[in-house]
Amino acid sequence: MREWVIGAAQMGAIQKRDTREAVVARMIALLDRAAASGCDLVVFPELALTTFFPRWYMEDQAEVDTWFEREMPNAATQPLFDRAREHRIAISFGYAELTPEGRHFNTSIVTDREGEIVGKYRKVHLPGHVEYDTGRDFQHLEKRYFEPGDLGFDTFDNEGTLMGMCICNDRRWPETWRVMGLQGVELVMLGYNTPSVNSQNRGEGLEQRLYHSELSVTAGAYQNATWAVAVAKAGVEDGFPLMGGSIIVDPDGFVVARAQTEEDELITATCDMERCQFGKTTIFDFARHRRIEHYGRITSQTGVERQQ
Ligand code: CDT
């Protein structure tokens, strides 16, 4: 399938007290709206099933584990998979994954239109910190609760379209996009939970935060000639605001649909995968133009090393 009607299902706030069942009911309502709009694929946010729990400091691992899913689908999410299959809509969403071996990941999956999981991704770039940080206005403890993903940035053939995923902070790193671009990716799906203010710089407000998100996604899409769908969990969660700004971006880097609210909201676009071909065969024809002899630092070095 080369032409997909894609829905970005932005979600409003999820409070700590909200159950998985209540959240899944909201996701199903968005899915029904997507079916009415003719969608073939719907993308939901990062950690779509719960509040953004990494803002809360916890020491008790049993309490931490209550935010994680031990299998997917499970009893709470099975109705979402069932409805997606009924509508013949592929879905992608993020959740906290606890593996049988006891490993913790910030994960997303994508299904085909039969409701079968055809791709899984585990977040690589984990922002934030491990210990309680008194210097911040609020906590961001992803490095405490998750380990870095171990699956790389794979791409998945989903009914004839090459799809890839990344999660939130990953979108700010050009390497994320290029590793998928080098596999010929045609659609990058990502969800995010981005605070509306910078916890370490009160002066950086919503407008700048939205700009940096859009800049990252539009640049990633353009420079790799791929469609991109970036979907927020937004709104005020237990007093902590998350930004909206969900977008669908074409392979030329232009925004073709943009959310207007910070609530549950569906935006859609018809995405022809053949449109990736022009960029991939001209200015971003990697085989002809890349000069890997100058890129060694990208994989041999993390921090800055100044040349004297
Ligand atoms: N969820 C997530 O990755 N959020 C980050 C916030 C970084 S602030 C520590 C983001 O890049 O949007």
For residue 80, CA distances in Å to 31, 75, 100 come to 8, 10, 23
SS3 59: coil
Minimal-distance CA residue to ligand 1 atom 7 = 127
pLDDT of residue 308: 82
C-beta of 127 in contact with ligand 1 (< 6 A): yes
pLDDT tens-place string over residues 172-188: 999 999 999 999 999 99
Residue 111 has pLDDT above 90, yes or no: yes
- Could you tell me the pTM of the whole model? 0.98
pLDDT digits (tens, 9 = 90+) for 208-241: 999 999 999 999 999 999 999 999 999 999 999 9
Distance CA 240, CA 44 (A): 20
pLDDT at residue 284 greater than cutoff 90: yes
Q: CA 58 → CA 53, 110, 198, distances in Å?
A: 10, 30, 22
- The answer to whether residue 306 scores a pLDDT higher than 90 is yes
Active site (catalytic) residues: 46, 123, 168
Express as a percent the part of the chain with pLDDT over 90. Answer: 99
Mutation choice for ligand 1 from 52, 53, 169, CB with most ligand atoms inside 8 A: 169
Buried/exposed code over 34-65 (b: 16+ C-beta within 10 A; e: otherwise)? bbeeebbbbbbbbbbbbbbbbbbebeeeeebe
Q: Is the pLDDT of residue 164 over 90?
A: yes
Q: Which tens digits make up the pLDDT trace of 247-274? A: 999 999 999 999 999 999 999 999 999 9
Residue nearest to atom 12 of ligand 1 (CA): 194
Q: What is the pLDDT of residues 68-85, one digit of tens each?
A: 999 999 999 999 999 999
In the chain, the amino acid numbered 39 is: C
Ligand 1 contact, 43 CB (< 6 A)? no
Distance CA 191, CA 10 (A): 9
| Triad 47, 227, 302: Cα angle to 5° | 65
Q: For all residues of the chain together, what is the average pLDDT? A: 98
Stretch 101-111: mean pLDDT, rounded? 99
Mutation choice for ligand 1 from 194, 202, 240, CB with most ligand atoms inside 8 A: 194
